[in-house]
Structure 1
Amino acid sequence: MFRQAPLLAAALLFDSTAGAQNVKPIAYPETTRGDVVETQFGEAIADPYRWLENDVRTDSKVAGWVQRQNVVTNAYLGTLPQRDWFAARIKALMDYERFGLPQKAGAHYFYTRNSGLQNQAQLFVRDGLSGTPRLLIDPNGWAKDGATALDDWVPSDKGRFLAYSVQDGGSDWRTIRVLDVASGKVMADDLHWAKFTDIAWIGDEGFLYSRFPKPAEGAEFQSRNFNQALYFHRIGTPQEQDQLVFATPDQPEVGHTAKVTNGGRYAVITSSKGTDARFEVRVIDLAQRKKKGWLAQVLVSGFDHKWQPVDAIGNRLWFVTDENAPRGKLVSVRLTASHTDWTDVVPQRDETLERASIVGNKLILSYLKDASTRAEVYDLTGRRAKVLTLNGIGTASGFTGKPGDPETFYSFTSFNQPASIRRLDLRSGASDVFATPKLTFNPAEYAIEQRFYQSKDGTRVPLFLIRRKDLVGKAVPTLLYGYGGFDVSLTPGFSATRMAWLEAGGAYAMANLRGGGEYGKAWHDAGRRANKQNVFDDFIAAGEFLIKEGVTPKGGLTIQGGSNGGLLVGAVTNQRPDLFAAANAQVGVMDMLRFDRFTAGRYWTDDYGFPGKEADWKVLRAYSPYHNIRSGADYPAVLVTTADTDDRVVPGHSFKYTAALQAAQAGPRPHLIRIETRAGHGAGKPTDKVVAEGADILAFLAQWSGLATPK
């Protein structure tokens, strides 16, 4: 079935400072080429690297290929003169005290803290806001390689217990455990096969969580996820005794999560079929549980619109929705027998409403205005009381709490500012600092601009541009980042890796492409399914704009994107290889004809369409990175990055794409893959792996864009 491809001597080392190629070729490892050909909708589709879809944990051939590729890639990266400088700077820039948003439960305040270079943040508790911090959970001792992480954590209503989820090796699977807060003792509760779940406490009795059936042996990290169900776990009992709360076995593609309103009166069940914010909503009156059991009454049916539960006071529930409001509005409903008492509380406006919360007797609404946060306080009738002053272009998050609370916490970050935590007193309106980082650089030395440019069809697209102020007006190597999908909004935030690029004298640009959520439902719809090409056009137009405006020289533009953004990088590299000097495709979706066959891939049909439907297949076939590599074309330098334990976008996507790119002999520049171990899709990655990966990527991009790091 297999035949051997010839040994490729594809890429030559390139000395960007001398502007010439030397004679040392990179010999890519041999990759076995299969003869799989399938006819789909009248076209014969070759898939010679199908075997690379197999799980590296169980297939020795795939494991051997991974090892050989890493040997070649590491040897090349080891020659880059910028690598050590970037590693040192990223490490130094990450070495500052970082706090997570505090969460109050009873008299306790819970929060995470990383002292600087710890692989994982620790969880602390204070008794009272000014109480002495007490360490509750330290995940740094959970694994020798630091790759077992504390994921979600939720205290019970009064803070007696804390449920937390553990992530191992970057996997999406979670193990949920319980801790007694007073003693710090981890209890016997041990819950498995949880994924894409919330933890919703019902008093101190127990909590609701979502889990999937146990996968078949050996299929844990590749089989598709169906039949997610909602369970109740009572504290101190084994998982086998957990009560099934809600499931839809006749609709295995539907998943369910739950939120319990403050005060514990209602459980709100949100059901979805994919990644689209199109939900059905059911409500369980927990006060009637002894009489009626887990009776879930339908509040919203049809999977037509976004319904994001906010909270409840008495028998009134608040939601953020896009029903008849594509940019979002706040509504409420009184839970009566008919559930027809729907009221618009804060109507739609020009900005996009992202989320809302009820804290004290106030509503706090977070809007996006041109991809930057605007936070406002309203009374419960929907009258605006205050606009919160934030420190310039940036992202604010948090604003959580309970009805009756006198305070809330929020963080603010921007491209040149790590997150600082502030406490807002809702009675006085005063805001004071809870935690702020001590910096090793001067934020005032960096200019943050927001520009707008025209895409191919004339659409006006926003772009953030960050540079050292002394470089404004000069053309410098530039890193352009994008995503463009799944209603995800790219907003300003701090990254030590990105700051190292800026310190070295590069510019950074982030384009808010269609397909994201920056301007509501219409912006998302304009960049998905049959409209996906708009995303690629927007990104290409951003690159052309940066060159035209003199931000970067031709030959100085590099690109980067992860997950759906990795797909973006693969697609635009195929379509415009002449535009970019180098590309980094991170954990990308590269085979658009088979993405729905693995783990969470079947959810993504909302954005990509169905490979089994001819009309959708033709769209996917036209841009699929794996299927559209241009043999013999002069490609930019490409570094693909993935992890052998990624069970979100399985690494077979990146493996197949890299094998095909290397076989195409697409120009003299290197086309390499860096495969991390026990790192998954990105969440929970330990600090030392973040530093090493960031240094490798930036050194690669710097080498091919001409960015010389300081000596």
Structure 2
Amino acid sequence: GGTEESVLYVMDVATGEVIDGPIDRCRYSPVAWIPGGERFYYVRSLPPELLPESERGFHRRVFLHKVGADSAKDANVFGAGMTITNYYGVEVSRDGRWLQVSAAEGTEPRNDLWVADLTTTSVDRPAFQHVQVDVDAQTSLTFGRDGRVFVSTDLEAPRGRLAVTEPGQWGSSQWVDLVAEDPEAVLESVAILDGPDLDEDLLLVTTTAHGVAVMTLRRATDGAVVTEVELPGAGTVAGPIEQPSGGPVVWFAYTDHTQVPTIYSFDARTRQVELYATPPGSVEVPDVHSQLVTYDSADGTTVRLFIVSPTAKPDRPRPTVLYGYGGFGIPMQPGFSAAILSWVAAGGVWAVACLRGGGDEGEQWHRDGMLDKKQNVFDDFHAAARYLSTDGWTTPQQLGIYGGSNGGLLVGAALTQEPELFNAVVCVAPLLDMIRYTTSELGPTWTVEYGDPEDPEQFGWLHAYSPYHRVVDGTDYPATMFAVSDNDTRTDPMHGRKMCAAVQSATSGSRPILLRSEGNVGHGARKLDAAVEETADTLAFLAHWTGMEG
């Protein structure tokens, strides 16, 4: 039904047999196995009957479960008495010695971090030690087989850095940098390559330079670069993933604007990337051009924009879709999209703006687009629209904008602030009433990103741009489709419904203001046929109102 209320099962991967579960109330739960396959840590919400109705989406705890045992009797090992909107992460080191638990209040871009030595304490009552508490940074640990602890952090390094320390020396003053912050790239991940087949332990470090993945092989002793790893193209990497027992080989997924997600391996013995697995079927990719350009926002900040187009340079103004998100530190990286390729194959242009509020340029880039600085995100988006028109890619009459969730807020703000820049708007699963967004669903977990309307100063930030409160009677609004789902448990469908009614009442023009409402579907993933129908409807709407022929 789309509610995203997850249940957890345990499957024997050799036979496919389900051997445990379901364990309910496991939304957003990681799983951390203790070696041996008999027990694991996981995150679960408290039973709803014990909580007020307004708090039933919160109150998570870390539990320990023994396979086959009654989950109602699982030991609660962490989280009691802490902030009710906390999200928890949990990991166990490869050798089973170290338990790591992180906590973040809602979507706050920082975390507290604890570790416990499972060789000196009970696994169901671990004795935790602080790594960082009440520190304004995001930090995680990786435990090497050589006993050292690798620290990934953005403490005093908004683009991220990799440090090393020893067990027990948890304080940041005891960390020693291995990979210093790069002023042009964001640290994404680190994998350890080790074992008897290598002369020395190595690190495979993945960064993104303005949204494009870069891999380097480095010495684990001092972080010195051994070689840059050649990737299949200018795209996005997920992973790498190590073998639990370690070794010289890791695996990663790669995608870009024209390549479907594909699995590759990297072997530190040969220094080679090799194709490992491809998805079933085949895709005929049209001839398209992908490029990354820059433009200036209203305050002079340089912003980047991916453009996927039929030609390398503008040959004439074309029907164009501008997409953006700009929130929660989420970067806009190249990725395969059948919808984008279909649009470009039909003669259009698709642009993706890397706005402030995202993570494209590190944590400071995120913070420059949150809370009292949220207007920067909208200014970046408006400037992207102007760039596409003035550079010859399109015209305001041929430009449509598209965004979902936080991106729905983005295009809702664009609709109300700069309606003359676009001819069409598709606003999916949006937040639009920023004064009441905390009253339903997961809204209370987002006050760290947007602000709390109960706070007088923060109320002012929110009211200044809240799209629902910026609708003006007598405005000739662009053709707009608000798309909502009845079972959306993240962004309440009331946002799209009442915004649609407000804009329908206010508009002075003849362009339509529509509501696309879908039942038995939630915020994100849905059945394939439902996803195809939504894509077809939104592309058809955009095509009509941007003048796409055929």
| Structure 2 match to 1:369 | 209
| Structure 2 match to 1:612 | 454
Query: Quick check: 1:473 aligned with 2:473?
Result: no
Runs of 4+ in 1 over 6 A off after TM superposition: 217-220
Q: Report deviation, 1:291.
A: 8.8
| Structure 2 match to 1:215 | 48
| 1:479-503 Cα deviation digits (max 9, x unpaired) | 0000111111000001111111111
Q: Report deviation, 1:272.
A: 0.8
Q: 5+ residue gaps in structure 1? A: 1-168
Q: Report deviation, 1:705.
A: 0.6
Comparing 568-577 and 402-411, the one that deviates more? 402-411
The residue matched to 2:365 in structure 1 has which SS?
Answer: helix
- Cα distance in 2, alignment partners of residues 291 and 486 from structure 1: 34
Query: Quick check: 1:197 aligned with 2:29?
Result: yes
| Structure 2 match to 1:186 | 18
- Cα distance in 1, alignment partners of residues 262 and 314 from structure 2: 27
Aligned letter for 2:186? T
Contact kept, 8 Å, 2:191 with 2:203, in 1: the verdict is yes
| Structure 2 match to 1:671 | 513
Pick the aligned partner of 1:228 from 60, 81, 100: 60
- Cα distance in 2, alignment partners of residues 435 and 368 from structure 1: 23
The residue matched to 2:178 in structure 1 has which SS?
Answer: strand
Aligned pair in 2 of structure 1 residues 504, 311: CA closer, same or farther (>3 Å)? farther
Aligned residues: 538
- Cα distance in 2, alignment partners of residues 239 and 691 from structure 1: 38
- Cα distance in 2, alignment partners of residues 345 and 585 from structure 1: 44
Q: Report deviation, 1:280.
A: 0.9
Query: Quick check: 1:383 aligned with 2:215?
Result: no
Contact kept, 8 Å, 1:311 with 1:357, in 2: the verdict is no
Comparing 620-629 and 388-397, the one that deviates more? 388-397
| Structure 2 match to 1:622 | 464
| Structure 1 match to 2:188 | 354
Query: Quick check: 1:423 aligned with 2:271?
Result: no
- Cα distance in 2, alignment partners of residues 578 and 406 from structure 1: 56
- Cα distance in 1, alignment partners of residues 440 and 147 from structure 2: 42
Q: Report deviation, 1:257.
A: 2.0
- Cα distance in 2, alignment partners of residues 585 and 224 from structure 1: 28
Q: Report deviation, 1:406.
A: 2.6
Pick the aligned partner of 1:206 from 39, 45, 60: 39
- Cα distance in 1, alignment partners of residues 256 and 423 from structure 2: 27
Q: Report deviation, 1:318.
A: 1.5
Contact kept, 8 Å, 1:224 with 1:602, in 2: the verdict is no
Aligned pair in 2 of structure 1 residues 636, 374: CA closer, same or farther (>3 Å)? same
Query: Quick check: 1:702 aligned with 2:543?
Result: yes
Aligned pair in 2 of structure 1 residues 431, 682: CA closer, same or farther (>3 Å)? same
Identity %: 35
Pick the aligned partner of 1:566 from 398, 401, 408: 408
Contact kept, 8 Å, 1:471 with 1:505, in 2: the verdict is no
- Cα distance in 2, alignment partners of residues 463 and 570 from structure 1: 20
Aligned pair in 2 of structure 1 residues 355, 182: CA closer, same or farther (>3 Å)? closer
Q: TM-score, normalised by structure 2?
A: 0.93
The residue matched to 1:304 in structure 2 has which SS?
Answer: coil
Aligned pair in 2 of structure 1 residues 187, 416: CA closer, same or farther (>3 Å)? same
Aligned pair in 2 of structure 1 residues 175, 454: CA closer, same or farther (>3 Å)? same
| Structure 2 match to 1:97 | none
Q: Report deviation, 1:565.
A: 0.5
Q: Report deviation, 1:433.
A: 1.2
Higher strand share: 1
| Structure 2 match to 1:433 | 275
Contact kept, 8 Å, 1:486 with 1:515, in 2: the verdict is yes
For the pair shown, the structure with the greater C-alpha radius of gyration is 1
- Cα distance in 1, alignment partners of residues 124 and 27 from structure 2: 28
Aligned letter for 2:548? L
- Cα distance in 2, alignment partners of residues 495 and 465 from structure 1: 13
Contact kept, 8 Å, 1:272 with 1:303, in 2: the verdict is no
Aligned pair in 2 of structure 1 residues 292, 591: CA closer, same or farther (>3 Å)? closer
- Measured on the aligned residues, the alpha-carbon RMSD in Å equals 2.1
1:392-541 equivalent positions in 2, closer than 5 A: 392-402=233-243, 404-436=246-278, 439-442=282-285, 445-469=287-311, 472-541=314-383
Pick the aligned partner of 1:282 from 97, 114, 125: 114
| 1:438-476 Cα deviation digits (max 9, x unpaired) | 644345x21111111111111111001111138842210
Comparing 267-276 and 177-186, the one that deviates more? 177-186
| 1:532-588 Cα deviation digits (max 9, x unpaired) | 111111100100110001101230000001111000000010011111110011111
Contact kept, 8 Å, 2:314 with 2:392, in 1: the verdict is no
Q: Report deviation, 1:183.
A: 3.2
Aligned pair in 2 of structure 1 residues 470, 519: CA closer, same or farther (>3 Å)? closer
| Structure 1 match to 2:198 | none
| Structure 1 match to 2:103 | 271
| Structure 1 match to 2:534 | 693
1:1-12 equivalent positions in 2, closer than 5 A: none
- Cα distance in 1, alignment partners of residues 249 and 521 from structure 2: 37
Aligned pair in 2 of structure 1 residues 439, 473: CA closer, same or farther (>3 Å)? farther
- Cα distance in 1, alignment partners of residues 142 and 235 from structure 2: 24
Comparing 363-372 and 508-517, the one that deviates more? 363-372
- Cα distance in 1, alignment partners of residues 191 and 232 from structure 2: 21
Pick the aligned partner of 1:318 from 150, 172, 181: 150
Q: Report deviation, 1:664.
A: 2.2
- Cα distance in 1, alignment partners of residues 527 and 383 from structure 2: 35
| Structure 1 match to 2:132 | 300
- Cα distance in 1, alignment partners of residues 28 and 430 from structure 2: 20
Q: TM-score, normalised by structure 1?
A: 0.73
| 1:676-710 Cα deviation digits (max 9, x unpaired) | 22321113x2211111110000000011110013x
Q: Report deviation, 1:646.
A: 1.0
| Structure 2 match to 1:93 | none
Q: Report deviation, 1:652.
A: 1.8
The residue matched to 1:305 in structure 2 has which SS?
Answer: coil
Aligned pair in 2 of structure 1 residues 581, 431: CA closer, same or farther (>3 Å)? same
Comparing 651-660 and 491-500, the one that deviates more? 651-660
Aligned pair in 2 of structure 1 residues 182, 461: CA closer, same or farther (>3 Å)? closer
